[in-house]
């Protein structure tokens, strides 16, 4: 009689190893023998690979112990569990004191709002399971309310310096900072907007045309990652017929255009880590790096690191973020001002056939993405380096005259070209700062969290704000060839032109020529 195989429960680390082996082409039967499980188990792991990887990422994002966890057993009251956990991570990021009794009381309140099981009881046993399920090691009874004073700043600066130099032995090229911000991408000064809109908006917050933008660069300013941009729609109308590979940003969609944990984790593992590794290899530096970030509720609350453990994260204390975070030291503001200058110039450059008002109405999210990417690309190394001066000053202070932003006076002059309404400095300043407090994530109340968790997601193909767009008809290859030829003739005689740019234009024109010939031949063959 064949001896019955002993039941083996694999941990998540082992499951990840199996997924990697399968990806590398190893035979499922051999893998089953190595781990002492049946082939069916290996096939189940293969089928649920994405779900397993997502669960492990969630555990890691909350400082969970991946080694000791083996199952993905769901909560008995799943909706209650999801709502309560969303509330928990948001409260913790705000430094709100949390304890066992507070969480149990909140669970009872949320259960009532959900019209949940009347017999539900938030007991100590339930609390232990909730903490274990979400890898919450300890609760902070006193909270994290830190005063914005020089002592706290000095303490963190020393801690950061020790982490960089003593523990990790990193140089400035290996240290990065990322930060999100909201951008009202179509908003104009209030008076101008009122004259352009069929409906007068009462304030800037009424504008639905917002996106979240995340910037990320290293301390030398030599490596700027492409922007992460979050819009409301996965397929805006403005993207119709667009080759998405031509977008100069990493574009994600979320129904409120807000950052969330899923997007951040995807960006970290699929964008940040690979691009940083390529940059470090080019610089012939060790494959180690640190990402400095704030503790927003949309960021992981525990240790976050690359699969090999060489790229890690470090969090700024709650209440001194604005004082020390590099991207908050004028870098984001500079980018936004450059963007808004491009916005106004785009509207002013309208041809006489449609006018300024129609040009503004046709300005779409694709235009906004290219303009904000251009604004980010235009930020110089000195501007990016200066952002680190408060947190990590160099031994020899780096000073540069290249930190000047577009002045309010320049904006007043530009804005007054848009309409007959004469704008004051204050009105223009209010417009420039209209999204200054928008941190790219949403603080939700209990009802909003419940709505988010219980709502049935529907795929939205078009942005509501894009419905009135007059999309231009596609340009033929022959038309493109003719226009590019004229563009080359114009560009070659400009003082700013250089050989590299002219060759690039000619290369693009030649591509249009080849496509035009191919289309003509196809048409000829059809009628032969």
pLDDT at residue 226 in the model: 97
pLDDT at residue 146 in the model: 40
Architecture of 78-134 per CATH?
A: Orthogonal Bundle (1.10)
- Which uninterrupted H or E stretch holds 451? helix 446-454
Sort strands 289-293 and 175-184 into parallel, antiparallel or unpaired: parallel
Spell out the alpha helix ranges (H) of 67-219. Answer: 78-93, 100-113, 124-133, 150-162, 190-196
38-41 CB contacts, 8 Å cutoff, 24+ apart: 38/5, 41/10
pLDDT at residue 403 in the model: 54
Q: How far apart are the first and last CA of the chain?
A: 77
Q: Is 176 helix (H, G, I), strand (E, B) or coil?
A: strand
Q: Which of 287, 406, 246 lies closest to 336, judged by CA?
A: 406
pLDDT at residue 470 in the model: 56
Handedness of CA 131, 134, 138, 141 (dihedral sign): negative
On the CB side of 300, CA atoms within 13 Å amount to: 27
pLDDT at residue 163 in the model: 93
pLDDT at residue 71 in the model: 53
Q: Which of 296, 158, 311, 127 lies closest to 225, judged by CA?
A: 311
Are 200 and 194 in contact, with CB atoms under 8 Å apart? yes
For residue 69, CA distances in Å to 3, 41, 59, 133, 225 come to 29, 17, 9, 9, 34
For residue 391, CA distances in Å to 158, 160, 168, 313 come to 9, 8, 17, 16
pLDDT at residue 145 in the model: 43
Task: Name the residue with tokens 């993905």.
Answer: 72
| CA–CA dist 154, 411 (Å, integer) | 37
pLDDT at residue 195 in the model: 64
Q: Rg (Cα) of the chain, in Å, rounded?
A: 27
| CA–CA dist 167, 243 (Å, integer) | 44
Handedness of CA 492, 495, 500, 504 (dihedral sign): negative
* Percent over 70 (pLDDT), the chain: 81
Q: Which of 439, 456, 444 lies closest to 88, judged by CA?
A: 444
Residue 177 DSSP code: E
Q: Which of 471, 475, 473 lies closest to 238, judged by CA?
A: 471
pLDDT at residue 459 in the model: 44
pLDDT digit string (tens) for 121-166?
999 999 988 887 776 766 655 444 444 467 888 899 999 999 998 8
pLDDT at residue 2 in the model: 53
On the CB side of 415, CA atoms within 13 Å amount to: 28
Q: What's CA 508's distance to the chain center, in Å?
A: 31
| CA–CA dist 315, 235 (Å, integer) | 34
pTM value > 0.85: no
Task: Name the residue with tokens 């231009």.
Answer: 472
pLDDT at residue 465 in the model: 46
For residue 420, CA distances in Å to 69, 348, 428, 444 come to 66, 14, 15, 40
Residue stretches of the chain with pLDDT short of 50? 1, 63-66, 70, 142-148, 199-202, 204-206, 457-465, 467-468
Handedness of CA 52, 249, 500, 511 (dihedral sign): positive
In DSSP notation, 369-395 reads: HHHHHHHHHT--HHHHHHTTTTTS--S
Q: Cβ contacts of residue 240 below 8 Å, gap of 6+?
A: 471
């Amino acid at each position: 009689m064949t001896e019955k195989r002993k039941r083996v429960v694999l941990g998540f680390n082992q499951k990840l190893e199996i997924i990697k082996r399968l990806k590398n082409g190893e035979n499922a039967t051999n893998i089953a023998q190595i781990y002492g499980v049946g082939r069916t188990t290996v096939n189940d792991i293969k089928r649920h690979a994405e779900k397993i990887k997502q669960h492990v990422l969630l555990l890691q994002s909350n400082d969970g112990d991946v080694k000791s966890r083996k199952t993905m057993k769901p909560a008995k009251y799943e909706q209650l569990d999801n709502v309560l956990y969303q509330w928990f991570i948001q409260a913790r990021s705000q430094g709100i004191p949390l304890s066992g009794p507070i969480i149990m009381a909140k669970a009872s309140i949320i259960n009532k709002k959900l019209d949940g099981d009347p017999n539900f009881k938030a007991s100590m046993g339930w609390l232990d399971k909730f903490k274990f399920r979400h890898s919450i090691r300890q609760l902070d009874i006193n909270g994290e309310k830190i005063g914005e004073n020089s002592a706290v700043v000095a303490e963190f600066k020393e801690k950061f310096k020790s982490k960089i130099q003593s523990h990790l032995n990193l140089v400035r090229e290996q240290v990065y900072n990322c930060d999100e911000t909201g951008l009202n991408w179509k908003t104009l000064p209030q008076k101008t907007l009122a004259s352009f809109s069929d409906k007068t908006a009462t304030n800037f917050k009424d504008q639905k045309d917002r996106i979240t933008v995340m910037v990320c660069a290293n301390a030398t300013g030599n490596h700027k990652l492409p922007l992460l941009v979050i819009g409301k729609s996965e397929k805006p109308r403005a993207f119709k017929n667009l080759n998405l590979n031509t977008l100069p940003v990493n574009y994600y969609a979320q129904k409120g255009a807000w950052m969330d944990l899923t997007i951040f984790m995807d960006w970290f593992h699929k964008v940040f880590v690979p691009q940083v590794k390529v940059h470090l290899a080019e610089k012939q530096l060790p494959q180690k790096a640190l990402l400095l970030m704030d503790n927003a509720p949309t960021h992981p609350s525990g240790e976050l690191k690359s699969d090999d453990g060489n790229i890690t994260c470090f969090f700024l204390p709650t209440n001194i973020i604005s004082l020390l975070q590099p991207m908050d030291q004028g870098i984001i503001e500079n980018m936004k001002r450059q963007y808004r200058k491009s916005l106004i110039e785009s509207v002013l450059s309208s041809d006489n056939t449609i006018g300024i008002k129609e040009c503004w109405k046709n300005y779409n999210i694709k235009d906004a993405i290219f303009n904000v990417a251009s604004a980010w690309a235009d930020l110089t190394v000195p501007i990016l380096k200066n952002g680190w001066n408060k947190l990590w000053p160099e031994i020899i202070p780096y000073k540069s005259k290249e930190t000047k932003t577009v002045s309010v006076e320049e904006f007043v002059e530009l804005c007054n070209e848009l309409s007959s309404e004469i704008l004051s400095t204050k009105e223009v300043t209010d417009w420039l700062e209209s999204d200054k407090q928008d941190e790219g994530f949403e603080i939700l109340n209990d009802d909003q969290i419940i709505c988010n968790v219980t709502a049935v997601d529907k795929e939205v193909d078009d942005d509501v704000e894009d419905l009135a767009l007059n999309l231009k008809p596609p340009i033929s290859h022959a038309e493109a060839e003719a226009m590019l030829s004229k563009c080359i003739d114009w560009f070659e005689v400009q003082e700013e032109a250089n050989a590299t740019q002219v060759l690039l234009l000619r290369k693009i024109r030649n591509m249009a020529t080849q496509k035009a010939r191919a289309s003509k031949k196809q048409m000829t063959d059809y009628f032969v």
